[in-house]
A and B are shown apart, each in its own frame.
Chain A
Amino acid sequence: NAGVTQTPKFQVLKTGQSMTLQCAQDMNHEYMSWYRQDPGMGLRLIHYSVGAGITDQGEVPNGYNVSRSTTEDFPLRLLSAAPSQTSVYFCASSYSTRSTGELFFGEGSRLTVL
């Protein structure tokens, strides 16, 4: 019963490097999203998707790219990492795109940009 799987769990990057955080879910959820969590800020939405081929920006999208080629996968790309992107990243999915569906979260990925 995998649920939402994120990789890697930990990553250290140098400023300017690129990387992709992987997210996969096996629950056939249409809705997927990426959040970042910073101390004192709660969770802030980066990007989300309501189905394969459909993505949109959240509250803090700058510096991040996403795509959704399949229902299962929703990778988050950092094209040129900056120290301000040091954070804990969560991927989450939901069976519903409406207000009744709770989000299921991955375990998080801790990213440090030096």
Chain B
Amino acid sequence: AQKITQTQPGMFVQEKEAVTLDCTYDTSDPSYGLFWYKQPSSGEMIFLIYQGSYDQQNATEGRYSLNFQKARKSANLVISASQLGDSAMYFCAMREDGGYSTLTFGKGTMLLVSP
């Protein structure tokens, strides 16, 4: 079974609107971290936001927030006030504390922001 599932291959949003990118995960480890990365067309991987499994509040970083619903095992990324520069591939990833905690990625969602 996939550990990270991103069901939206592509998303379109207009500039200045908010958009939600979906991510569900599967783990039996009580201690884990959830991450979102952005990959623009230039190819580099940019860390956006982190949520720990024991964190009581949803993580926020500027225009990015993580809608963490632990019971549903979902960790959706919300981008407020989209900008043209937000057009990129977005990856959800998880790192578990059991064993040596490697980072497992979803297949990504391509976001296109239109003027």
Interface residues, chain A, CB within 8 Å of chain B?
33, 35, 40-45, 48, 50, 56, 58, 88, 90, 92, 94, 97-105, 107-108
Contacts and interface: CB of A to CB of B under 8 A. Distances in A.
A30 to B, nearest CB: 11
Contacts, number: 64
23 contacts: A33-B102, A35-B105, A42-B106, A42-B107, A42-B108, A43-B45, A45-B102, A88-B43, A92-B45, A97-B100, A99-B32, A99-B52, A99-B97, A100-B50, A100-B52, A102-B47, A102-B50, A103-B103, A104-B47, A105-B45, A107-B44, A108-B43, A108-B45
Interface in B91-110: 91, 93, 95-97, 100-108
Contact of A99 (B4, B37, B91, B101): B101
Interface of B: 4, 31-33, 35, 37, 43-45, 47, 50, 52-53, 91, 93, 95-97, 100-108
Nearest to A94: B103
Contacts of A108: 43-45
Mostly helix, strand, loop or mixed at chain A's interface?
strand
A89 to B, nearest CB: 11
A98 B107 contact: no
Contact of B100 (A50, A88, A104, A105): A50
Most-contacted residue by chain A among B43, B53, B91 (CB, 10 A)? B43
A49 B101 CA distance: 11
A54 to B, nearest CB: 9
Given A48-B100, A108-B44, A99 B107 contact: no
A87 B96 CA distance: 26
A102 B33 CA distance: 9
